[in-house]
């Protein structure tokens, strides 16, 4: 039994099969990468895992337990955190504030005072703050602790997205195009952090990515999909050599 199991997953939007009978499984302590042309259904797979959408068929299991009974806000408690293809941070708050409200983001922006003293949850909030400090140190973000997110360069904001997900203390981290919009240098930096997240924090990573240099560097296994369907799975080299994958990209 694998750790994360996606089985015959299907979702339609109107007449469009965004995800079509897709199955794959992910072993713990690996980086598993999903590639595919634009519109292939990659982000939709993440939205299904995070319970944003209900599949019309299929199942998603983590450690043998189906996630389909979970509500979106319970996904973090099941050990899953994600980043978004487009950065979703509170632009006018500082980096630290973003990390502290990360867990509460679905409730909107609450003043810190309210977070710290709400319902006698002081202990929990202190633990959360310690975790935020740990992550800041781990990702080497100390210099930006009190900077307003909107004043920071795009590359740092992408990293803060990852930091915010890590503060939730996940066992499974879903990264949706971590390199999009980044320079070659910043992408190499992200590769380094992804490897550390796996090796040092023992977090399993499922990543959607276009930059094949990053894919080749960090992926233990690669899945290619197109039009919501499974195309090929294997090492990065195997998948890139696959004829169906080449046809999907070149449209031939
Ligand atoms: P990818 O991330 O691989 O680029 P997506 O998963 O975002 O692709 O989208 C897969 C397909 O589903 C696309 O054709 C997209 O237009 C469609 N789609 C995604 N989300 C919605 C939605 N909420 N409503 C309607 N169609 C959607
Ligand atoms: Mg996408």
Write down the pLDDT at residue 27.
97
Q: Give the model's pLDDT for residue 105.
A: 43
- Residue 108 is predicted with a pLDDT of 40
First-to-last alpha carbon distance for the chain, in angstroms, is: 37
CB-based contact 206:175 (threshold 8 Å): yes
- For the record, the structure tokens of 109 come out as 């922006």
Count CB atoms within 10 A of the CB of residue 83.
24
Residue from 39, 42, 50, 83 whose mutation best tests the ligand 1 pocket (most atoms within 8 A of CB): 39
8 A C-beta contact, residue 215 and residue 209: yes
The answer, yes or no, to whether any atom of ligand 1 lies below 6 A from the CB of 226, is: no
The Cα 102–Cα 132 span in angstroms is: 10
Question: What residue segments make up the domains of the chain, in order of their start?
Answer: 1-79+170-252, 90-168
Residue 200 buriedness (CB in 10 A; 0-12 / 13-18 / 19+) = exposed
Please report the pLDDT score of residue 124 as a whole number: 78
For residue range 115-160, what is the model confidence (pLDDT) as tens digits?
555 555 677 788 889 999 999 999 999 999 999 999 999 999 999 9
Nearest protein Cα to ligand 1, atom 12:
18
Report pLDDT for 73.
87
Ranges of the chain with pLDDT below 70: 1, 102-121, 252
Name the closest-CA residue to atom 27, ligand 1: 13
CB 203 within 8 A of CB 80: no
**Ligand 1 probe mutation, 12, 18, 37, 225, most atoms within 8 A of CB:** 18
Q: Specify the residue with its C-alpha closest to ligand 1, atom 26.
A: 13
CATH class for the region spanning 1-79+170-252:
alpha beta
Distance from the alpha carbon of residue 42 to the mean position of ligand 2, in angstroms: 5
Q: Which residues surround ligand 2, an ion (CB under 5 A)?
A: 42-43, 85
Q: What number is the ipTM of this complex?
A: 0.98
pLDDT number for residue 117: 55
Closest CA to 53 of 74, 36, 68, 38: 68
pLDDT of residue 109: 44
């Amino acid at each position: 039994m694998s750790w994360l199991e996606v089985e015959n997953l299907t979702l339609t939007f109107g007449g469009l099969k965004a995800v079509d009978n897709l199955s794959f499984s992910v072993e713990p302590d690996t980086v598993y990468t999903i590639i595919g042309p634009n519109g292939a259904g990659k982000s939709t797979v993440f939205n299904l895992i995070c319970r944003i959408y209900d599949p019309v068929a299929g199942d998603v299991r983590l450690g043998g337990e189906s996630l389909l009974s979970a509500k979106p806000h319970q996904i973090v408690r099941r050990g899953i955190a994600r980043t978004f293809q487009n950065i979703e941070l509170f632009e006018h708050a500082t980096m630290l504030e973003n990390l502290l409200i990360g867990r509460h983001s679905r409730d909107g922006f609450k003043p810190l005072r309210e977070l710290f003293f709400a319902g006698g949850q002081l202990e929990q909030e202190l633990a959360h703050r310690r975790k935020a400090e740990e992550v800041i140190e781990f990702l080497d973000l100390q210099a930006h602790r009190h900077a307003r997110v909107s004043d920071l360069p795009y590359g740092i904001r992408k990293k803060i997205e990852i930091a915010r997900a890590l503060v939730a203390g996940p066992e499974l981290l879903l990264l949706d195009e971590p390199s999009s919009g980044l320079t070659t240098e910043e992408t190499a930096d992200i590769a380094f952090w992804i490897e550390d997240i796996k090796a040092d924090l023992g977090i399993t990573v499922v990543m959607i990515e276009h930059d094949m240099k990053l894919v080749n560097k960090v992926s233990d296994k690669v899945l290619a999909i197109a039009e919501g369907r499974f195309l090929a799975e294997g090492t990065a080299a195997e998948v890139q050599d696959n004829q169906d994958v080449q046809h999907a990209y070149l449209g031939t």
